[in-house]
Amino acid sequence: MQADYLIVGGGIAAARAVEGIRAQDPGGRLVLVTAESDPPYFRPLISYLLANKVRAEAMLWRGESFCAENAVELLAGRRAVRLDAHAGTVLLDGGEEVRYGKLLLATGSRPADLPVPGRDLPGVFLFATWEDVRAIKRYLARCPVKRAVVIGGGLVGLKAAEGLAALGIGVGLVELQDHLLPAVLDQEGGEVLAAALAEKGWKFFFGRRVTAIKGAERVCGVALDDGTVLPADLVITAAGMVPLVALAGEAGLNVQSGIVVDAYMQTSHADIYAAGDAAQGDEALSGQKRVLALWPIAARQGYTAGLNMAGGRRRCLPGIAMNATTVAGLPLVTVGLSLGAEEDGFTVLKERRPGEFFYRKLVFREDRLVGALLVGEVARAGILTGLIRSGLPLPGRIQELLRRDFGLLDLPAAYRESLLAQARQGLYPSGGGRDAA
């Protein structure tokens, strides 16, 4: 098979790359290979699908006709097993070879392994794909489930627990660290989130390591390193995600923690691009290259890669780590260096309100905002994100950012005008999508 454009992967980066390619080249032959059985879909919605809060048809990116409308030859349920960058070919499982003009690696990430006995028992699931949700629903239909244990207190684990709790299932969550979302929340932020969830009946086991998953014909419990055994009719493992870079690494591309790309999403090989959770691109605050496994960044990277694969020359805006989501009704946003601490040389402002599930933390490097953490009230997250991205100095004004009525009108007119100019130039594209966690 010959393709002008070959995309390996079926997530948001791949879907936006299709749109970027078609914006430049409506007619080139475009082939998309995805190991999943589904065409591109809204991956952040899988917890809502589990909770029966969205219908299956709402999962599909741009609807059922997306591939047909964009003349995409979809090879679903197929795996790319070898890339020959010099010959310009990708070998698929089954022996079929695809020769490409330009290639996008949007291979994404996979759940990290949990190397404990019992992880293969019936009733133990991952929570990363639409098919994972289908498997859980099939299990729930044939097995009574009153109690579930989720292993991992990151965002994937929290969203899995949220979906189960919405079905009336009792949830216990095990986290190796001492608070929730340790990659983006500090101790205080994690405490506020845990307190809000505990009020809804969630149970937490912090600072504990899973030593085994118990059961015979199916799962019945989870053993912890302190000797506790948590009863469980169902277990979800969410111990982190690992970028899928083997295809690129074995082909000789520059791979570090991810597939290294330049500002145009081009890899170390001129005809090969990468985007999404497997790509290691420019990060704005550090000036270094990092893997930022975030939905809006993957969307922006994918669209930029698609444009450039089809002859464009657009730079991708450097990424900033950002999470914006709601867990069991409590909104939270983290932006930039949200874990920055005074002992690391930052200036840190914090605010909590007694009796409320509220926490706000702002992190400054000298007089520039470089991080924000908001739990319970996130109305001004957009303004804070803009300040972080711009690096605008705020001499003598950093305390003002904690005011509840702080807004754009409190910022210099020149800064407001620059924001409008950047918006007109398309420097802050939304990238589409819902629930940008």
Alpha-carbon distance of 232 to 230, in angstroms, equals 6
Same-domain status, 198 and 258: no
Q: Is 324 within the bounds of a domain? A: no
Q: Is 131 within the bounds of a domain? A: yes
Same-domain status, 246 and 102: yes
Alpha-carbon distance of 435 to 49, in angstroms, equals 13
Q: Is 385 within the bounds of a domain? A: yes
Q: Is 316 within the bounds of a domain? A: no
Same-domain status, 213 and 247: no
Q: Is 43 within the bounds of a domain? A: yes
Same-domain status, 99 and 8: yes
Count the neighbouring beta carbons within 10 Å of the beta carbon of residue 391.
12
Same-domain status, 228 and 117: yes
Q: Which of 277, 278, 280 is nearest to 263 (CA)?
A: 280
Same-domain status, 101 and 117: no
Same-domain status, 260 and 216: no
pLDDT, block means (10 residues), the chain with 437 residues:
97 97 97 94 94 93 92 96 98 96 97 94 97 97 97 96 97 97 94 96 97 96 97 96 97 98 97 98 92 94 98 94 92 94 94 92 94 92 88 85 80 73 50 35
Q: Which of 251, 278, 309 represents a domain boundary (last residue)?
A: 309
Count the neighbouring beta carbons within 10 Å of the beta carbon of residue 182.
17
Q: Is 431 within the bounds of a domain? A: no
Q: Is 432 within the bounds of a domain? A: no
Q: How many domains does the chain have?
A: 3
Same-domain status, 176 and 140: yes
Alpha-carbon distance of 107 to 245, in angstroms, equals 7
Please state the separation of Cα 372 from the chain's center in Å: 18
- Give residue 423's pLDDT: 54
- Give residue 13's pLDDT: 97
Same-domain status, 264 and 303: yes
Look at the block and give the residue holding tokens 């100019």.
421
Q: Is 137 within the bounds of a domain? A: yes
Same-domain status, 118 and 217: yes
Q: What is the dihedral of CA 383, 335, 279, 241, to 10 degrees?
A: -140
Alpha-carbon distance of 392 to 110, in angstroms, equals 37
Pairing of strands 147-151, 234-237: parallel
| CATH number, position 95 | 3.50.50.60
Residues 6+ positions from 191 with CB-CB distance below 8 Å: 179
Pairing of strands 80-84, 89-92: antiparallel
Each residue of 16-51: pLDDT tens digit? 999 999 999 999 999 999 999 998 999 999 999 999
Inter-residue contact 258 to 243 (CB < 8 Å): yes
Inter-residue contact 81 to 244 (CB < 8 Å): no
Count the neighbouring beta carbons within 10 Å of the beta carbon of residue 309.
30
Same-domain status, 104 and 167: no
Same-domain status, 250 and 106: yes
| CATH number, position 351 | 3.30.390.30
Residue 266's domain comprises: 2-110+242-309
